[in-house]
Amino acid sequence: MTRAIRIAVLVLILALGAVWGAAFLARRPGEGVGASFARLLGNAPAPSAGGVATGMGVAIGGPFTLVDQDGRTVTQDDLRGKLALVFFGFTFCPDVCPTELQAIGQAMDLLGPQAAQVRPVFITVDPARDTPAKMKEYVGLFHPSITGLTGTPEQVSAAARAWRVYYNKVTPPGSSDYLMDHSSYTYLMGRDGSLRALFRPGITPEEMVTAIRANLG
């Protein structure tokens, strides 16, 4: 990764942290941080092509072409018409990925009949190991509604760029296998493909549901 890209990633992380801090301070009584973020986002500048222009001027979301766990081609247009919960990770992830996918699965259960209006999506950052068959096995552990997406390294890279996702292959000391270091936000995308909320790692299913329901109207 070049120095310029590393600096850009650092700036984005700091900016996202600042916005989450503002959402925390701006919470209304009984309101979760995720819902506060969604409310503040409603005052953001007009959406730009393929995403939303946030207060930081960073577009989130955009064109991509991947394949799902059944080998079918999926593009950004397939996420339109419903809300979408988008999370990037990998099936060999030892911690944050199963934790966040479990929260997404629990949120889908808590939504009840409203879950039919939400499409949860898990996009791998490890296409070398995460084949469609592996993705199908993995997402099935968390919720039957989760779509697992993979593709060529170039396709995955393009999708990660669209959501401003950082990822990098790392080999822990003394290990013969590698892991993927990656950013771990969950994106709530609107029916029109615009960003509606950004969930921090560790968000509760209840907070997630509050923000989702605020965007179902």
Q: Which CATH superfamily is domain 3-214 in?
A: Glutaredoxin (3.40.30.10)
Structure token digits, residue 117 = 């209006």
- The larger pLDDT score, comparing residue 22 to residue 139, is at 139
- Please give the pLDDT value at position 56: 44
Nearest to 37, CA basis, from 184, 173, 188:
188
Whole-structure pTM over 0.85, yes or no?
Answer: no
As given in the structure block, the two tokens for residue 45 are 């500048």
Strand-pairing partners, residue 199, are 186
What tens digit of pLDDT does each residue of 158-194 get?
999 999 999 999 998 988 899 999 999 999 999 999 9
DSSP state letters, 2-28: -HHHHHHHHHHHHHHHHHHHHHHHTPP
